[in-house]
Amino acid sequence: MADAPPLKPATLAAQALGWTEPSVHAVVPPIHPSAAYTRTSDGRYPGGHSYTRDQNPTYDQVEALLTRLEGGCEALLFGSGMAAATTVFETLAPGAHVVAPAMMYWTLRLWLRDLAARGRIVLDEVPTDDLDALRAAMLPGRTAVVWIETPSNPTGVITDIAAVSEIAHAAGAMVVADGTLATPVLCRPLALGADLVMHSATKQLNGHTDVLAGALITAATGPHWDRIRFERGYRGAVLGPFEAWLLQRGLRTLYLRVAASASGAQRVAEVLAEHPAVAAVFYPGLPDHPGHGIAARQMTGGFGSVVSFRPHGGREAARAVSAALRVFRQASSLGGVESLVEHRASVEGEGTPVPDDLLRLSIGIEDPDDLIADLEYALAKAKR
């Protein structure tokens, strides 16, 4: 008899790996709120858990699912995306050389600059979509991490993960990919050569704007991964069991939500690209986007839920368009079921590389016709 074919990732996510609670055979996994676990008389932990700052059965299920979805070796949950990202750098040796792009999640960019100013790391900000610039920045034997974000937030810069990994590995550096905007539904960086994937799980992995969480998934275990696990436990950088349970619930619909939002984003981007009131659109699904060819090669099923654009008329026009939108909500996040708009430069403040007139859209799962009509209404109203 032939073996059953392996389950597809969407099925694994929908069924949370098919796990059933063993005592009462419940389909929905329980929450384990306990902070402590009993020992046997000889000091062992028969359940394999000692303290929730390090281990919790509610984490185990989510970490196992993320490991499978990303095609990794192990995963760790964190209390936020920033907690996950900063742990990568805090576990480097003092003075380690780090290469990262300037066009990236702005809070991490500011934190890396602060870390460099305090002498903890040596930071070179290099556009990672420019392979020649990346090669020139590498310091063989000294560069510890090349950080990439693809698509980037908020301008959708695409980095060739396989090419960057080849360059970084030749210099002895690891590649860490921020996969927040793509999710494993659209891109799996580990399969393309990255060593770690980071997610702000607050965003599309959870998908409901009600959980703060982060995750790291590794292609292979080793001393640095062991140090990351150690730091997470001792710094208490984990999320709570209830948040982990909510994240797992969100992951069950990940493939449906990502497909819907990516399809809607593609339609929105195409309409904006032809609109006379729009000066520029940033979305890798558009054929004239500089990274479209690479994105089409390393992403499958769509190009993500984030569309950014610049209306004619500068900063004031952008703010007027944002204020006139009625379906899009003005808020600082992305990846939820609801569509959001944000004037990024005013959020990021002085020194941001983001254009002063750029609006970032996070496309949710609403009917795209309603989102397009809302944008057309706001663009027309702002022009009057």
**Residue pLDDT, tens place only, 236-273:** 999 999 999 999 999 999 999 999 999 999 999 999 99
Do 181 and 236 lie in a common domain? yes
CATH code of the domain containing 327: 3.90.1150.10
Do 93 and 168 lie in a common domain? yes
State pLDDT tens for residues 327-372. 999 999 999 999 999 999 888 888 888 899 999 999 999 999 999 9
Do 237 and 296 lie in a common domain? no
105 in active site: yes
Q: What is the pLDDT of residue 4?
A: 76
Q: What is the pLDDT of residue 340?
A: 98
Contact between residue 51 and residue 57 where contact means Cβ atoms under 8 Å apart:
no
Quickly list DSSP for 362-377. Answer: E--SS-HHHHHHHHHH
Domain end position, chosen among 251, 275, 299: 251
Q: What is the pLDDT of residue 203?
A: 97
Do 97 and 231 lie in a common domain? yes
CATH code of the domain containing 192: 3.40.640.10
Residue whose pair of structure tokens reads 């009509």 in the numeric block: 373
Contact between residue 233 and residue 77 where contact means Cβ atoms under 8 Å apart:
no
178 in active site: yes
Q: What is the pLDDT of residue 266?
A: 98
Residue 116 included in any domain: yes
Catalytic residue, from 105, 232, 255, 283: name it.
105
State pLDDT tens for residues 183-192. 999 999 999 9
The angle subtended at Cα 233 by Cα 230 and Cα 237, nearest 5°, is 120
Residue 344 included in any domain: yes
Do 246 and 263 lie in a common domain? no
Q: Which of 12-26, 145-159, 221-235 has the lowest mean pLDDT?
A: 12-26
232 in active site: no
- Nearest Cα to 120, choosing from 86, 141, 90, 85? 90
* Distance, CA of 70 to CA of 123 (rounded, Å): 28
Contact between residue 308 and residue 156 where contact means Cβ atoms under 8 Å apart:
yes
Catalytic residue, from 120, 203, 232, 257: name it.
203
Do 67 and 187 lie in a common domain? yes
For the chain, percent of residues with pLDDT exceeding 90: 82
Residue 17 included in any domain: no
pLDDT at residue 1 above 80? no
Do 318 and 241 lie in a common domain? no
* Distance, CA of 246 to CA of 206 (rounded, Å): 7
Do 163 and 198 lie in a common domain? yes
Number of domains present in the structure of the chain: 2
- Chain CA centroid to CA 200, Å: 5
Q: What is the pLDDT of residue 133?
A: 98
Catalytic residue, from 178, 195, 357, 374: name it.
178
pLDDT at residue 25 above 60? yes
Largest CA distance in the chain: 78
Q: How many CA atoms lie within 13 A of 30 on its CB side?
A: 10
Domain region containing 138: 55-251
Do 310 and 193 lie in a common domain? no
State pLDDT tens for residues 99-156. 999 999 999 999 999 999 999 999 999 999 999 999 999 999 999 999 999 999 999 9
Contact between residue 141 and residue 171 where contact means Cβ atoms under 8 Å apart:
yes
Do 233 and 296 lie in a common domain? no
Domain end position, chosen among 203, 223, 251: 251
Contact between residue 87 and residue 237 where contact means Cβ atoms under 8 Å apart:
yes
Q: What integer best gives the mean pLDDT of the chain?
A: 94
Which amino acid is residue 10, in one-letter code?
A: A
Do 242 and 266 lie in a common domain? no
End-to-end CA distance of the chain: 71
Alpha carbon of 369 to those of 4, 228, 306, 362, 373: distances in Å? Answer: 41, 45, 17, 15, 6
* Distance, CA of 278 to CA of 288 (rounded, Å): 15
State pLDDT tens for residues 315-337. 999 999 999 999 999 999 999 99
> Residue 253 carries which DSSP code?
T
Q: What is the pLDDT of residue 130?
A: 97
Catalytic residue, from 37, 53, 130, 227: name it.
53
* Distance, CA of 147 to CA of 100 (rounded, Å): 5
Q: What is the pLDDT of residue 44?
A: 86
State pLDDT tens for residues 191-223. 999 999 999 999 999 999 999 999 999 999 999
Q: Which residue has the higher pLDDT, 347 or 283?
A: 283
8 in active site: no
* Distance, CA of 364 to CA of 260 (rounded, Å): 8
Q: What is the pLDDT of residue 383?
A: 79
* Distance, CA of 182 to CA of 189 (rounded, Å): 10
Alpha carbon of 373 to those of 268, 326, 380: distances in Å? Answer: 10, 10, 11
Q: Can you tell me the mean pLDDT for 275-279? A: 97
Q: What is the pLDDT of residue 384?
A: 67
Do 196 and 218 lie in a common domain? yes
- Chain CA centroid to CA 370, Å: 27
- Nearest Cα to 371, choosing from 334, 347, 336, 340? 340
Q: What is the pLDDT of residue 352?
A: 86
- Chain CA centroid to CA 305, Å: 12
Q: Is 8 left (phi over 0), alpha (psi -120 to 50) or beta?
A: beta
- Nearest Cα to 199, choosing from 83, 113, 91? 83
